[in-house]
Amino acid sequence: MPEKIEFVAIHSGMVTSPKGFFAGAVHAGIKEADEKRLDLGVLFSEADCAVAGVFTASKLKSAPVLVSRDRVTAGSGRAVVVNSGCANACTGDQGIADVKEMARLMSVPLGVPEESVFVASTGVIGVLLPMDKVRDGLARMALVKQGGHDLAHAMMTTDTFPKEYALRVKSHDAEYVVAGVAKGAGMIHPNMGTLLCFLATDASVELSFLKIALKRSVDMSFNMVTVDGDTSPSDTVLLLANGMAGNRAIAAGTVPGRAFQKALDRVCIELARSIAGDGEGAKRLIEVKVEGARSIKDARIGARTIAGSSLVKAAVYGADPNWGRVVAAMGRSGAEMVEQKVDVYLGDVCVMKSGVPQAFDVIAARKALRAKEVGIRLNLNLGRGQATAWGCDLTPRYVTINSAYTT
């Protein structure tokens, strides 16, 4: 009898929903223009965690990325300090020193080793952190079980809502929670310090599997939101597993392993979708599915190119069923494509079948493009590769937001 495993989304879930996680946030005043906003936060586990991380692929790496990437090699940790308003990138030796001081300052009251504290920052590049304010803020930090929501707010930059999700996993011999918090991004190219995501679970997971599982989930979620491998100097995803659920350590290639992967995928995808839907100035979430590709790689690059096409995004903004732009984006993506085999759908409306433009109901197509979630689907009919990418429409407001960010 196959084991029954239940996945239940936790109402008003947060990154501190799993056992043993605490968080807090303060207004330190790092982003001066905004007098009262939370801009400095901490996530803490009362037990030692196995930790995996994925960081920016950019040649330019922020100071927190350099330090945290180094610390994550130990495979364990206890806390994350995060701030918005300043990315601490292009800040040289002083930037590194500031990261280490932030970790040290928090490690003392927490009673944990300095090296077990990770740091992540998002905001403007090329400016040093106002360390007086950071020190003062960290001194006032209080950690509580329900602190996840505040932490989510402290990470926001141009986000219009916090991104949080928690999922309970139940099987006959284990019950645990996988949860996460993320900050959003400008959607054509990620904004300053783009993607920060902290994932927490009380499951016990073998470190080797934790690393693989995180990489897999990130590949099908956060890596499918941004365009063409775009990445900021600050991109950081951390996964902390503290084992307090008391389950037997989850390993790769097992039934519990598959269940954990599924849960992690789901949490990451939910957060990725939230990020896409909250793209700067965006009104609509665009979900692009490419099926029948020669390979998963082809499907991914195709879906990402379409979701990232400014012309497609602008057409969705105007609810203009200009599907030629979808095929054109697929065509230039680099993925294998044979025009005569391609099917294209806007929502449920087939606009192209086996490469032949279809007479379609323009009103229905426009309606599909006006939905809060716009579905675009292609079948390349070449193989079994499939992938989903998320984006948002491009609106005049995106430009307005991004034309005056530092000043």
Name the residues that contact its own copies, by CB under 8 A.
Answer: 56-61, 87, 89-92, 124-127, 186, 188-189, 191-192, 228-233, 309-311, 314-315, 317-318, 320-325, 327-332, 334-340, 351-352, 355-357, 394-400, 402-407
Nearer to its own copies, 89 or 110 (CB): 89
| Least distance in angstroms from the C-beta of 128 to its own copies | 9
195 SS3 class: coil
**What distances in angstroms separate CA 80 from CA 35, 97, 99, 197, 200, one per listed residue?**
24, 17, 11, 11, 11
| Least distance in angstroms from the C-beta of 368 to its own copies | 15
Alpha helices in 87-233 (DSSP H): 92-110, 131-139, 148-155, 207-220
Nearer to its own copies, 12 or 310 (CB): 310
Nearer to its own copies, 39 or 230 (CB): 230
| Residue in 272, 293, 278, 289 with CA at minimum distance from that of residue 219 | 272
| Least distance in angstroms from the C-beta of 321 to its own copies | 7
Nearer to its own copies, 73 or 403 (CB): 403
Amino acid at 398: Y
Backbone angles phi, psi at 34, to 5 degrees: -110, 100
| Least distance in angstroms from the C-beta of 90 to its own copies | 6
- The C-alpha atoms of residue 294 and residue 303 are separated, in whole angstroms, by 13
State the DSSP H helix or E strand holding residue 206, giving kind and residue range, or none if neither. none
Q: Active-site residue numbers?
A: 194
Nearer to its own copies, 309 or 388 (CB): 309
On whether the CB atoms of residues 365 and 347 are closer than 8 A, the answer is yes
Helix axes 324-332, 310-317, angle to 10 degrees: 160
